[in-house]
């Protein structure tokens, strides 16, 4: 981890613990931008990279135990156009899911549903190309629902519960309000708002940055 990344992570940690100036501790919610990426099952990982392949960690992500791997794949959609260099995230999951933005969908010729992670029934088909093989998914490509990870303690502070849909406000020259932001409560979660690149660009997100839930 270089010095710039280390300092950025330290600022985000302080924002989680202390809150931004003028706000009660813990009320500011750090924003994380999720670029296009792939979660794989064990069988799909083997098909793409070879039997009993293990992902190699590139860097840790904000949620405990999750990481960006060194491995990337190519995605091919209905348009027969492709996007190369799409990061595979770890650890291995029980299902394979491709998370894309609306802009990505236009390129690949897909009509992505907006879904919570793991809700893949009826989602878009996509082809994943790895160095050892190709996997054609009948479903699995989505645009992830905007969501906030938090612990039960965070939920108490924010006065929300798991499954709630809330609004969040972004300050600044491109100030806006995003609606239908899903609350995801887990005992091991780190407090973070996850946005795709389209939403982040609309709000001119610059890390580190925090938002607040509107009451």
**Average of per-residue pLDDT across 194-209:** 92
Instruction: Express each pLDDT in 122-156 by its tens digit.
Output: 999 999 999 999 999 999 999 999 999 999 999 99
Instruction: Express each pLDDT in 100-113 by its tens digit.
Output: 999 999 999 999 99
Query: Residue 19 pLDDT > 60, yes or no?
Result: no
> What six digits make up the tokens of 63?
């949620």
54-61: which pairs have CB atoms within 8 A and are 24 or more residues apart? 55/88, 55/90, 55/91, 55/92, 57/90, 58/87, 59/1, 59/5, 61/89
| Residue bearing tokens 């973070």 | 192
Among 27-31, 35-39, 117-121, 201-205, where is mean pLDDT lowest?
A: 27-31
Q: What is the C-alpha separation between 9 and 33, in angstroms, rounded?
A: 14
Confidence band for 173, pLDDT divided at 50, 70 and 90? confident
Count Cα neighbours of 45 within 13 Å in the Cβ-side half-sphere.
21
* Residues facing 29 on adjacent strands: 211
For residue 215, the model assigns a pLDDT of 75
Enumerate the CATH 2.40.40.20 domain ranges in the chain, comma separated.
Answer: 3-33+146-213
For residue 24, the model assigns a pLDDT of 45
Confidence band for 206, pLDDT divided at 50, 70 and 90? confident
Q: What mean pLDDT value characterizes the chain?
A: 90
The contacts of residue 65 (CB under 8 Å, 6+ apart) are 91, 188
Among 86-95, 141-150, 165-174, 175-184, where is mean pLDDT lowest?
A: 165-174
Residues 122-137 as b/e (b if ≥16 CB within 10 A, e otherwise) read ebbebbbbbeeeebeb
* Residue spans of alpha helices (H) in 55-175: 102-108, 152-158
Query: Residue 174 pLDDT > 90, yes or no?
Result: no
**Domain 3-33+146-213 CATH (choose: 3.40.50.10860, 2.40.40.20, 3.40.50.620, 1.10.760.10):** 2.40.40.20
For residue 208, the model assigns a pLDDT of 86
Residues 173-210 as b/e (b if ≥16 CB within 10 A, e otherwise) read eeeeebeebbbbbeeebbbbbbbbbebbeebebeebbb
Query: Residue 14 pLDDT > 80, yes or no?
Result: no
For residue 161, the model assigns a pLDDT of 97
Taken in order 199, 162, 192, 57, the sign of the CA dihedral is negative
The model carries a pTM of 0.85
Q: What is the DSSP string of 124-146?
A: EEEEEE-SS-EEEEEEEEEEEPP
């Amino acid at each position: 981890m270089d010095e710039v990344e280390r300092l950025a992570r330290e600022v985000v940690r302080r924002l989680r613990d202390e809150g931004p100036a003028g706000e009660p501790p813990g009320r500011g919610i750090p924003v994380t931008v999720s670029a296009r990426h792939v979660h794989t099952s064990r069988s799909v990982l083997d098909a793409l990279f070879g039997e009993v392949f293990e992902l190699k960690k590139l860097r840790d992500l904000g949620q405990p135990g999750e990481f960006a791997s060194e491995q990337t794949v190519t995605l091919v959609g209905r348009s027969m156009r492709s996007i190369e260099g799409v990061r595979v995230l770890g650890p291995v999951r029980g299902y394979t899911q491709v998370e894309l933005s609306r802009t990505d969908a236009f390129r690949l010729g897909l009509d992505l549903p907006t879904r919570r992670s793991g809700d893949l029934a009826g989602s878009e088909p996509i082809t994943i190309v790895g160095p050892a093989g190709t996997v054609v998914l009948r479903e699995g490509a989505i645009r992830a629902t905007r969501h906030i990870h938090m612990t039960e303690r965070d939920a108490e502070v924010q006065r929300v519960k798991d499954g709630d849909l809330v609004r969040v406000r972004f300050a600044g020259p491109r100030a806006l309000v995003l609606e239908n932001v899903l609350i995801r409560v887990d005992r091991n979660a780190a407090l973070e708002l996850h946005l795709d690149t389209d939403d982040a660009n609309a709000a001119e997100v610059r890390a580190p940055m925090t938002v607040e839930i509107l009451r």
